[in-house]
Each structure stands twice: as C-alpha cells, then as structure tokens.
Structure 1
Amino acid sequence: MKIPPHRYPSPLGRCQPEIMDVETTKRDGWQEQHILVVSGDDSRLDFVEREFIRRLGNRLYGGKRHE
C-alpha cells in the first residue's frame, strides 16, 4: 500500500481572500450607501423592470461599444 507523502502547507494559503457572498455584498451596499448593483438579465425582474434598467444604464453610461 502506497501512502502519499505529507505535503507542506504553503504559507501563501492564508493570503487567499475569503469567499464572499455577492448577493449579501449588493444588499449591504444598497442598505448602507444606496448603491444599486443589478444585472439587466436578472430573472427576478419582469420585462418592464429589465427594460427600465437597460434604459437607465444607457442614459447614464451610453450603449454598448462596438469595437
């Protein structure tokens, strides 16, 4: 029976960031700073809401860039 050699844990392992919950971060951003992060394709939105988000984004930031 072969036993794999013991691996020395890398000291860089503790430098890796903790995994964050994106939805919690977005909710906290809205509740604390009134910053809204929403995708135009969010399935929780109906057609009218998605269209509103698309138009608002285009008005504030312009449409898609064609390169």
Structure 2
Amino acid sequence: MTFRTAATTAVLAIGLAAVGAFAGPEWDPQPVTDHIRSQTTDTTIGGRTTRPPSGPTRWCPGR
C-alpha cells in the first residue's frame, strides 16, 4: 500500500511537471540597460525628500 501511494505521487508529480514545462510561458529575459540613478547620496531612512509629509493617518478599529 505504501509503495502504491509513493509511486502514484511520483507519477503525478512528473506528470504535472511535464504539463507545466510544455504549457508554461516561454521566458525571454532582456538585460537591463537603463539603470536607476539616485538624486542624492544620502541613504538614511527619512533623509531629505522633495515630497511634503503625508500627515497623520486615521486608525479605524473594526476594519
């Protein structure tokens, strides 16, 4: 009984892997050419920013 369960599980896993390999998307990754440039060298959290503070947030219990 244990062998049958193990064999069935293995066959199903291989079958699902085959279906995923044939039916899955064909990935074609492209190298990144445009790199992000930082506006400042300051890496501290909460450093200088050009955005105004968002203000206080409301806490709604029960949501």
Q: Bigger relative contact order, structure 1 or 2, given CA contacts below 8 A and separation 6+?
A: 1
* Higher CA-based Rg: 2
Structure with greater proportional helix content: 1
* Fold similarity call, TM over 0.5: no
Scaled to the shorter chain, the TM-score interval is under 0.3
Structure-2-length-normalised TM-score: 0.26
Structure-1-length-normalised TM-score: 0.24
